[in-house]
Structure 1
Amino acid sequence: MQRNKLIPLLAIIGAGVLPSAHADQFLDNRWYAAPFASYIRAGGDRDSKDGFGGGLAVGKILNEQFNVELRGFYNGLNGKQGNWNLEGGTVDLQYYFTRNKFAPYAVLAAGGLNTCVSATCGAGILAEGGVGFTYEVHDNFLLRSDVRYRYNNNYHIQPGNTDYNDMVVNVGFVIPFGEKPKAVAKLDIPAPAPAPVVADCSTKDSDADGVNDCLDKCPNTLKGSKVDFNGCPVRLILKGQNFKHDSAELTPESKLILDEVAASLNSYPEKNEIEVQGHTSSEGSDAYNLKLSQKRANSVVAYLKSKAVTNKLTAKGFGESQPIADNKTEAGRSENRRVELIWITN
């Protein structure tokens, strides 16, 4: 039996797997293909020599911990009764302890296996368990290897012997499809320091941004903006029904809001670059929401430019990837349907 040989391997992997903090939100949910080659160490119950094989898996990253895969494989063994030909398929569930460059995981699999020895063939059930790792060489190319204990129950091959136990070592690579999603760095604006005591300094705050007029370098900040120590905006969220349903066309109400934004931008002495970010709620597919959010961001940029805004404006859509509220409720989904203006500081 090969299962006891997995215990030291589990200990080695487990020793290096300690919880680690992640600075960025995990956003990767791509599909991928994973071809592999196999070495099978046959259990004594098969009365055969070790052999080789290979296969192909198609999988999807579900979240930071789990992948799911469909795998097909072939293994060949040389035995005293003749060659063993093993053809099977499994559904795999992988649990990743971390998602770093080196990412160890545990795997459980279940499926079926058709075995032919000489002229005798028969199908049976298959179960596997093991540990492995991936190593990210590039965003779209990872090396992968795992070692598994395999159990196969087959009533058709050898009279009186229905249980087969093998160890399988797989080596291959993973090719994710599409660009790897990356978290956008969030602005972390520290709490304003206490205003210095200045003789005869006014305590008036005309634009209600928390910075006194005598220290405010941007005294006409639009209401709702987050500002820096100088009272200049760094972020503005445009909420509400800004677009017509399922469209990138601005509503009359949103144009009035953008008129205020344009007037405010044109009054600033600073002309920072501004990234206009489009966001959606979770209705619809990821791909559709990403395109819609990009179109909506483009619409806002085009409108602001039509109002003679001279700041450099860049449109970027994020789809449903960065919710700020619960998408399970209509109130939360309404919060997530938004456009954000982010001032890029040098």
Structure 2
Amino acid sequence: MKNIYRSTLSALVLAAPLAAIAQTDYQTDTLPRFDDRWYILPFASYTWADENRGVDDGFGGGFAVGKPLNERLNLELRMTYTDLASQDDAGGDFRIGDLGVDGLFFLSRGRFQPFLLAGIGIINDDFECNISEVNIGNCKSGSGFSFMAEAGAGFVVPITEYASLRVDGRYRYDDNAARLIDDEDFGDWIVTAGIVIPLGSRAKPAPVTRTFELSADALFAFDKATLKPTGADRLNTFAGDLNQVNFNDIQVAGHTDPIGSEAYNLALSDRRANTVRDHLVGQGIPADKISAQGFGKSQLKVTPADCAGAKSREALIECYQPNRRVEVTVEGMVEK
């Protein structure tokens, strides 16, 4: 049964980062979600104890203090306490307290924040023998400090500016320097759940202006201004990200390659820009804050001279691909 628990925990822990990666097919990263405030973390835990301890699995709890250092890394001081009773009153009880420093490596800081963790520290094992006779075998009461190392993974889900849900699973190595029970070291599996509580107010980011380039070939068929299904999905995701921020104004600019007349390309780029504008408005972007304009082939990224070596029309179209684009400029952008 314990192996089933361990296998299930491992699967959940490993699935968390993979689920996050699977959900990032399109991500604009419109604003950094990095929060550099100190935080505290009260948490509950459940321990699947090493069989060598001779105790049942059980609940515990702890407390952590941490600080994000950059977009990827948090450092955390963590304390955990668990009281594990003996199996069928044979052997003894373990009261386990550990203190460690963990490093948390975040794979993303979005609405779902998976991370990997590793840490080292000290652990105190306080063993109380339940057998009435003294010194039967190695069953004798005692306590001692040992080296501890941990590794695992988890995720954070922000709820409000002042609270986030956090879940992680970890393997804890205890070298059992005091040689309690026997000479074997211990390896426990632990899952925790708690609430991250940032301290103080989050500094408001300064408004920024950013331009997002969307490939016209991803949005439209060649020489068309009607969105492809995949193009509509892409804009839906983009609009969802825009709805997470405040902004002053959005300009949508359409651009084409130099194939065809100036008038034709100007009209095509204008239709494409307005198609993008109308779709974003349909996804909740205020119509009075978004405008559209086509620029045709007036702002080429790849010139005819760059594609002079193209041997066919298909090769020329492929060479000119970077020119076919829609640029969305968002002004005065600030996270809500």
Short-chain TM bin: 0.5 to 0.7
Quick one: higher RCO (CA 8 Å, sep 6+), 1 or 2?
2
Q: Name the counterpart of 2:159.
A: 137
* Cα deviations by residue, 1:242-294 (Å, 9 ceiling, x for unpaired): xxxxxxxxxxxxxxxxxxxxxxxxxxxxxxxxxxxxxxxxxxxxxxxxxxxxx
- Among candidates 30, 39, 42, match of residue 35 of structure 1: 42
- Among candidates 190, 193, 202, match of residue 168 of structure 1: 190
Taking the aligned partners of 1:71 and 1:9, their CA distance within structure 2 comes to 22
Change (3 A) 1:106 1:77: same
Structure 1: tracts of 5 or more residues without a match: 191-341
Which 10-residue stretch deviates more, 46-55 or 149-158? Answer: 149-158
TM-score by length of 1: 0.51
Whether the 8 Å contact between 1:45 and 1:161 is mirrored in structure 2 is no
Flag the structure with higher helix content.
2
CA shift for structure 1 position 81: 1.9
Taking the aligned partners of 2:66 and 2:175, their CA distance within structure 1 comes to 26
Taking the aligned partners of 1:10 and 1:35, their CA distance within structure 2 comes to 20
Taking the aligned partners of 1:180 and 1:33, their CA distance within structure 2 comes to 15
Change (3 A) 1:75 1:88: same
TM-score by length of 2: 0.52
Q: Name the counterpart of 2:120.
A: 110
Which 10-residue stretch deviates more, 10-19 or 85-94? Answer: 10-19
Whether the 8 Å contact between 2:127 and 2:180 is mirrored in structure 1 is no
Give the % identical residues.
Answer: 34
- Among candidates 12, 27, 34, match of residue 15 of structure 2: 12
Change (3 A) 1:117 1:6: same
Whether the 8 Å contact between 1:6 and 1:130 is mirrored in structure 2 is no
Which letter maps to 1:91? Answer: V
Change (3 A) 1:98 1:182: farther
Structure 2: tracts of 5 or more residues without a match: 129-140, 213-331
Whether the 8 Å contact between 2:143 and 2:180 is mirrored in structure 1 is no
Q: Name the counterpart of 2:67.
A: 60
Whether the 8 Å contact between 1:115 and 1:157 is mirrored in structure 2 is no
Matched residue of 1:45: which SS? Answer: helix
* Cα deviations by residue, 1:207-252 (Å, 9 ceiling, x for unpaired): xxxxxxxxxxxxxxxxxxxxxxxxxxxxxxxxxxxxxxxxxxxxxx
Q: Name the counterpart of 2:104.
A: 94
Q: Name the counterpart of 1:146.
A: 168
Whether the 8 Å contact between 2:158 and 2:164 is mirrored in structure 1 is yes
Establish whether residue 73 from structure 1 lines up as the match of residue 80 from structure 2. yes
Taking the aligned partners of 2:38 and 2:153, their CA distance within structure 1 comes to 21
Q: Name the counterpart of 1:158.
A: 180
Which 10-residue stretch deviates more, 76-85 or 21-30? Answer: 21-30
Matched residue of 2:203: which SS? Answer: coil
